[in-house]
Amino acid sequence: MLNSKIELVLNNKLISIKNLDTNITVLNFLRNEKNLTGTKEGCASGDCGACTAVVGELKKNKIEYKSINTCITFLYTLNGKQLVTIEYLGNRSLHPVQKAMVESDGSQCGFCTPGIVMSMYCMYENKVKSTNDNIDKYLSGNLCRCTGYIPIKKSIRNMYNYKKNKSDQKNIISLLKNIKRNDIMIQNNESRFFVHYNLKGLIKDYQKNNNSYLLVGGTDLALEVTKKRNSLKNIFYLGSNKDLNFINIKKNKIHIGSATPISDIIPKLDKIYPTFSQMFERYGSEQIRNSASLGGNIGSASPIGDSLPVLIALNSQIVIQGKKQRTVSLDDYFVSYRKTKLKKNELIKEIIIPINKKNILKCYKISKRIDDDISSVFMAINANIKNNTFKSIKIVCGGMAEIPKIAKSTQEYLLNKKFNQENINEAKNIIAQEFTPIDDMRASKEYRMKISQNLLERFLNEQNRLNTVVY
Amino acid sequence: MDKIFTKNIEHESAIKHVTGKAIYTDDITEPKNLLHAVIGYSNCSKGIIKKINYDEVYKSEGVVDIITEKDIEGINDVGPIFKGDKIFTSKYIEYYGQPIFAVVAKTNNLAKKAALKVKIDIKKTKPIVSVEEALKKKSFVLKPKYLKRGNIKDGFKKSKNILKGKLYSGGQDHFYLEGQISMTIPQEDNNFLVYSSTQHPSETQQIIGKVLNQNFNSIHVMVRRIGGGFGGKETQSFLFAAITSIAAKKLSRPVKLRVDRDDDMIMTGKRHDFLFNYEVGFNNEGEIQALKLMMASRCGISADLSGAINDRAIYHIDNAYFIPNIEINSYRCKTNTVSNTAFRGFGGPQGMFCIENIIENISQKLNKDSSEIRKINFYKEKNRNTTHYGMKINDNVIEDIFNKLIKKSNFKKRKLKIKNFNKNNKILKKGIAITPVKFGISFTTTHLNQGGALVHIYTDGSIHLNHGGIEMGQGLMTKLALVASNEFGLNYESINVSSTDTEKVPNTSASAASATTDINGAAIVNAINKIKSGLDQFIYDYFKTNSKIRYENNFVYFDKRKISFKELINTAYLNRIPLSSSGFYKTDKINVDNKTLQGRPFLYFAYGAAVTEVIIDKLTGENKILQVDIIHDVGNSINKRIDIGQIEGGYIQGLGWLTTEEVSWKSDGILTTHSPSTYKIPTAGETPFKFNVEIYDRGFNKEKVINRSKAVGEPPFMLAISSFIAIKDAVYNANNNKDSNNLIAPATAENILKSLN
């Protein structure tokens, strides 16, 4: 029997919801249903952070906090979680992050401020050190047009100097513990919203329903609702499914559940593939990384999804679950623009990444803005170099074609060749023949072409230990 | 007498901001029966409407009505000075995003869903999109203007060197975090109360009056605060306020229009992009002898404020430099794009961008340190002190600021270090630049330089303050409450600032041109002086004294007595003394000839200078700002915390304009950058951690502006030109000191890479 309501802790009160539209976003719920207008709409596409709130989840008797963009988060994803909004912070007296913001003049027009305060709150409650890198990282999804961020950064540096008020975390933990985590189906007119906690139940219901959408972070899917104004009929939320949320590191393989948030993956990858994990720090914004998943990236198959070239370069496989399970190499998975080999009523269960510590992995992302921007060109290189010779090499580009694409001729040319200027020069000529990129608002085709060539040059320069990166 | 403001308090709404309790238009408790409007607009840039089919729109869930041109009782135009900004078109499509109709429905989402269902048959024709095309076809929104000083032929004859070149500066979207929004609530007798996120409530009132064909006195506009404006809500907000008012009148129900971010970016104007063709003559020291300049801007489909914006670009082509012989041809191009509008700096940044590039090119040509070339060309105190528009500069402090900053920022040493760095690095190259700012303060349209205020004292001694300015984050309310508390000698907390309101202070000017504190502050002082003169007379009569009266520390002092302000007010009330007054101020001394552009358009100048250091990657064009050092003149500050916020924020907004923010139009006139996913304003990561701001320690306004302070809204924006020039320097270094002529703004990674040889 599926539950027909969700329960969550809104700030410090347990609430249950069942009758609202299955497509409703957290932002619209807060503003229109609860009259909590402190959370603002800036863009309704997850790019500006004015709507930032924090989601708390029980992990080993403690609450772990994550910032989210409420404008692109569906309300029914919140079963069993705490939703913290700006109204909670100023409740009795100012929270340390608020005091710091006031005293460092972190607000001007004030419209982005609640979102920024919530990002800071998340940092504060998770006790993240306020290093320069962390400050930029935690602010990456919050746009401010007035202050230039300088006083906001200052207030983050100062926030730990302020004493915290008494917290009611114990109560909240006990409230959260009492919420049932059974599979859920919300029905509203003809539309349904499913939440499953294990794979078995999910597969059963997913096979039964047509017109279905798989949802994890919704960083892409939600725009169908908030921008194109479509109604999504059946939504299957995978973010709470324990069978899809895991990272297991085995001897020579990493297994990642398809719905595992990127921000959970980053620290685990750090020791194995540091360049991959560093790349993820420029993947979307903090809020996006907290929601988005590899499964989503692969499933939506966008040619500019940054994880895809890297996963392909690393010879990753994906486990596809339908009525049966099958394992597919990512090399052959992408067919044409946003078309893949995933069949109807199938879903991606996990991603398997081989561990090869002898190889060099490079992840080059070029975009207009360093943080929270979509690549104009992305290049991943996975190479085994012995005696300055390529024993194996794989080069995969994003943003250069309608799918993430392997530079086959280029890598074939370089195989068993010396890693030197002469061969890289030739490789640059070859790669120019392999791609016919397009012009758009992010970059011209000429620039894309030139960059794909120059990133090969960067690869060589890094090998020669030259300084190559500005940020 | 000049007062000193000692209290460095935070923004008046700071606590409300951080707790989410500050109320913006969309947060106002919604009235019963509220309906929501959404605009349906053209999806091509030029054509003729053959047929519109609204069947599916009407059938769509929750739809109450569709509003079109036919529903307009008055004029179908929201143009501020010149006509030409239609509310709805019914036949000719002139730009992408032109409103055709509005759907009114039960919710915003249902209205938008319905609007997307319209079927419009348009016969497309070929648009004019670029400045070059418009120039070629002589397509202008206003007549070209011409300014000359001296004898350009003689100037060039004297010049040992001549450089010619082309420059381009890009557009910029305002990206205020709070999008455009308006809500109109019908009152009795066809009166309307309008809440609008606007920088200009008075003109909102006037335009709604004209659109509804009603007297202005039937329209009441209120604004407590707006979530950023930057010029984008000086005139662009009128369209939305007009539409909610038309709908509210037609349906006799309150109507709200909150514009979706993409729709906002598509339907509203931006900063003008400019094209410059220059020819400059100079001697071997780098002193400019003659400048011949063609400047042309993309104004979009209508004049809007383009006349004054292009005039200001002309007025700032000199920045801080004396140009003895000059000839400027200024073209205001009409294109099939949304009408461009005011944006922080109002043409000034574009003019200054031009001359700073020219100076940098001169120094590269002569292979000299450009900071020296800048100094050589500075306006001087005794001669070389008159601008090309005939205004004598009598408050010049640029040389002092410049020298101080060179010293403070360790400019010369860092330049040497960079030289070494560049020698040792093949791929990465650094650059550094110092640029000055001299920005003229006043509306160049003289009659706008007036302000109004209304001050009440209630019988408990608390003050209610109202004035014509809009709080948009710039700290206006904080500064003006300080002015009032200072004048009354009262605690800052005794002053309650309230929503800007057309029923309290009429016929105000836009909060723009950086002058809002200046003109409204002076009007407040005027109102308070009127009340105080009544109170003073009362004290003379009632307490039988002729002593000097002081208002300080919540007390009033005369003879050797003191009584509390509260007691005085209560006694005055019982003796029937007026405790309320309006105030007025107009800026003196300014006048200008609109045709020749000669005269004194500005009351005074604000000065500043910035040093920026950057690093670029020769292989990708990627770049990063490493350090910024600023000294900026705010006169005698009313509140330093707020002024520093304006300086920092202004710089970073300017940095966005010149680096990551690229407004991109396809050749068919479709805007492709209409969301934050494609249009990239700076994030925290673009802001360098080494960001040093100092307020000029000798700041003093020679004009009798309130507290002898200076306007600070726009001037710091132009400090960011140093970032572009620093990138230019890095490109020059990367090009082995040949040139950097091909770099255009914004200096995106792509544009940087293109400029490398």
A345 assigned to some structural domain: no
Predicted complex ipTM: 0.97
B238, B287: one domain: no
Q: Does A43 touch chain B (CB under 8 A)?
A: yes
A395 phi and psi, to 5 degrees? Answer: -125, 125
**B-chain residue closest to A285, CA distance:** B683
A75 assigned to some structural domain:
yes
Q: Exactly one of B279, B471, B662, B714 is catalytic; which is it?
A: B714
CB spacing of B19 vs A102 below 8 angstroms: no
Contact A134, A128 (CB under 8 A): yes
| B591 assigned to some structural domain | no
**Model confidence at B1, in pLDDT bands (50, 70, 90)?**
very low
- Alpha-carbon distance A189 to nearest alpha carbon in chain B (angstroms): 14
Chain B contacts in chain A segment 424-443 (CB below 8 A): 440-443
B649 and B750 housed in the same domain: yes
Output the average pLDDT for chain B.
97
Q: Is A149 in contact with B179 (Cβ distance < 8 A)? A: no
Residue B289 covered by a domain: yes
CATH of the domain at B582: 3.30.365.10
Please check whether residue A5 is in contact with residue A16, taking contact to mean a CB–CB distance below 8 angstroms. Answer: yes
Q: Quick one: A157 and A27 in the same domain?
A: no
Q: pLDDT band for B6, please (50, 70, 90 cuts).
A: low
Residues of chain B with Cβ-Cβ distance to A117 below 8 Å are 18, 20
CATH of the domain at A140: 1.10.150.120
Phi, psi values for residue B42, rounded to 5°: -70, 145
Domain check: are B571 and B605 in the same one? no
Tell me: do A13 and A142 sit in the same domain: no
B490 & B604 share domain = no
Q: How deeply is B9 buried, as exposed, middle or buried, from its count of CB atoms within 10 A (0-12, 13-18, 19+)?
A: middle
**pLDDT tens by residue, A272-303:** 999 999 999 999 999 999 999 999 999 998 88
Is there a contact between B337 and B301 (Cβ–Cβ < 8 Å)?
yes
Q: pLDDT, tens digit, for every residue of B319-356?
A: 999 999 999 999 999 999 999 999 999 999 999 999 99
Q: Within this chain, do residues B582 and B608 fall inside the same structural domain, yes or no?
A: no
CB–CB of A368 and B260 under 8 A? no
Task: Give mean pLDDT, residues B476-485.
Answer: 96
Say what the alpha-carbon torsion angle B361, B363, B366, B372 is, to the nearest 10 degrees.
Answer: 170
Cβ neighbours around B486 below 10 Å, total: 23
A141 plus A193 within the same structural domain: no
Contact A148 B754 (CB under 8 A): no
Contact B619 A458 (CB under 8 A): yes
Which residues of chain A fall below pLDDT 70?
Answer: none
A47 and A123 in a common domain:
no
Other Cβ atoms closer than 10 A to B75: 16
How many secondary structure helices (H) and strands (E) does chain A include?
17, 20
Question: Mean pLDDT throughout B47-72?
Answer: 98
User: Are B473 and B424 within one domain?
Assistant: no
Of A216, A237, A258, the residue at which a domain comes to its end is A237
pLDDT at B284 over 50: yes
Q: How many CB pairs under 8 A join A and B?
A: 266
CA distance A220 to chain B (A): 12
Sort out which chain A residues have CB atoms less than 8 A from B682's CB and list them. 148-149, 369
What is the predicted pLDDT for the residue at A1?
A: 78
Structure-token pair, residue A251: 């001897």
Minimum distance, in Å, between the CA of residue A146 and any CA atom of chain B: 5
For every residue of A94-157, DSSP letters joined together read: --HHHHHHHHTT--SS-SSHHHHHHHHHHHHHTT----HHHHHHHHTT---SSSTTHHHHHHHH
What are the residues facing A6 on neighbouring strands?
A: A17
B13 contacts A467? CB cut-off 8 A: no
* Annotated catalytic residue B750: no
Total number of domains in chain B: 3
Torsional class of B442: left (φ above 0), alpha (ψ -120 to 50), beta (otherwise): left
**In 3D, which of B368, B490, B493 has the Cα closest to residue B9?**
B493
B227 vs A109: CB contact, 8 Å cut-off?
yes
Question: Does residue A80 sit in the same domain as residue A108?
Answer: no
Domain span at residue B574 reads: 450-586
Whole-angstrom distance, CA of residue B665 vs CA of residue B173: 13
Residue A402's domain is classified under what CATH number?
A: 3.30.390.50
Give me B749's structure tokens: 């990674």
Q: Domain boundary at A138, A161, A184, which?
A: A161
B402 vs A: CB within 8 A: no
Specify if A153 maps to a domain. Answer: yes
Please identify which residue in the block is written with the tokens 């009362």.
B538
3-class DSSP state of A76: helix
Q: Domain for residue A366, yes or no?
A: yes
Tokens linked to A145: 């047009």
Q: Which residues of B touch A41 (CB under 8 A)?
A: 26, 179, 258
B665 touches chain A (CB under 8 A): no
Count, residues in chain A:
471
Residue A294 lies in a domain: no
CATH number at residue A15: 3.10.20.30
The three-state secondary structure class of A405 is strand
Q: Which of A111, A126, A161 is the last residue of a domain?
A: A161
Q: Of the candidates B97, B37, B101, B42, which has an alpha carbon nearest to the alpha carbon of residue B63? A: B37
Contacting residues of B for A452, CB less than 8 Å apart: none
Residues A78, A144: one domain?
no
Question: Which of B 200-229 lie inside 8 A of A, CB atoms?
Answer: 225-228
Q: Do residues A145 and A203 both lie within one domain? A: no
Omega before B506 within 30 of 0, i.e. cis: no
- B183 φ, ψ (degrees, to nearest 5): -135, 125
Q: Pick A143's closest partner by Cβ from B27, B177, B641.
A: B177
- Give the global pTM: 0.97
Buried b (16+ CB within 10 A) or exposed e, B571-605: bbeeeebebebbbebebeebebeeeebbbbbbbbb
Type of residue found at B410: N
A82 interfacial to chain B (CB closer than 8 Å): no
Among A residues 142-161, those touching chain B with beta carbons less than 8 Å apart: 142-153
A182 assigned to some structural domain: yes
Residues A233 and A382 in one domain: no
Q: Does A102 touch chain B (CB under 8 A)?
A: yes
- Same domain as B390, residue B286: yes
CA A67 to CA A287: how far, in whole Å? 5
Q: Distance from B493 to chain A by nearest Cα, in Å? A: 17
Which ranges in B425-514 belong to alpha helices (H)? 476-488
Residues B398 and B537 in one domain: no
Q: B507 with B202: CB under 8 angstroms?
A: yes
Structural domain contains residue B168: no
Q: A41 and A179 share a domain? A: yes
Q: Is residue A272 part of a domain?
A: no
Domain end position, chosen among B538, B557, B586: B586
Q: State both tokens at B476.
A: 């206006």
Residue B361 binned pLDDT confidence (cut-offs 50, 70, 90): very high
Domain boundaries, position A44: 6-87+170-237
Same domain membership, residue B656 and residue B635: yes
- Whose CA is closest to B364, among B377, B373, B376? B373
pLDDT bucket at B564, cuts 50 / 70 / 90: very high
Same domain, B354 and B398: yes
A62 and A190 share one domain = yes
Domain count, chain A: 3
pLDDT in tens, B650-692: 999 999 999 999 999 999 999 999 999 999 999 999 999 999 9
CA distance readout (Å), B198 to B182, B266, B573:
9, 18, 37
Averaged pLDDT for residues B698-717: 97
Q: Evaluate whether A335 touches A402 at the Cβ level (below 8 Å).
A: no
Q: Under a CB-based contact definition with an 8 Å cutoff, are residues B323 and B388 in contact?
A: yes
Q: Tell me if B165 is assigned to some domain.
A: no
β-partners of residue B604 are: B441
Average pLDDT score over residue span B711-724: 98
How high is the pLDDT of residue B2? Answer: 42
- Both B100 and B209 in one domain: the answer is yes
Report whether A354 contacts A262 (CB < 8 A).
no
Judgement on whether residues A176 and A67 belong to the same structural domain of the protein: yes
Residue of chain B whose Cα is closest to the Cα of A40: B178
- B138 lies in some domain: no
Please tell me the distance in Å from A248's CA to the nearest CA on chain B.
Answer: 32
Specify whether the CB–CB gap between B181 and B307 falls below 8 A. no
Distance (Å, whole) CA A171 – CA A177: 10
**Which residues of B fall within a CB distance of 8 Å from A444?**
750
3-state class (DSSP) for residue B529: helix
Of B177, B428, B650, the CB nearest to A42: B177
Asked if the Cβ–Cβ distance from A50 to B620 is below 8 Å, we say no
Contacts of residue B230 in chain A, CB cutoff 8 Å?
145
Percent of chain A with pLDDT over 90: 91
> What CATH code is carried by the domain that includes residue B100?
3.90.1170.50
- CB contacts of A454 in chain B (<8 Å) are 619-620
Residues B608 and B708 grouped into a single domain? yes
What span, in angstroms and rounded, lies between the C-alpha atoms of A131 and A150? 14
Contacts of B655 in chain A (CB under 8 A): 148
A384 inside domain? yes
Does B164 map to a domain? no
Residues B574-596, mean pLDDT to the nearest whole number: 96
Chain A residues with CB-CB distance to B474 below 8 A: 108
Q: Torsion over CA of A207, A211, A217 and A223, rounded to 10 degrees?
A: 170
The string of DSSP letters for A327-379 reads EEEGGGTEEETTEESPPTT-EEEEEEEE--TTSEEEEEEE-SSSSS---SEEE
Determine, yes or no, domain membership for B132. no
Residues A62, A104 within the same domain = no
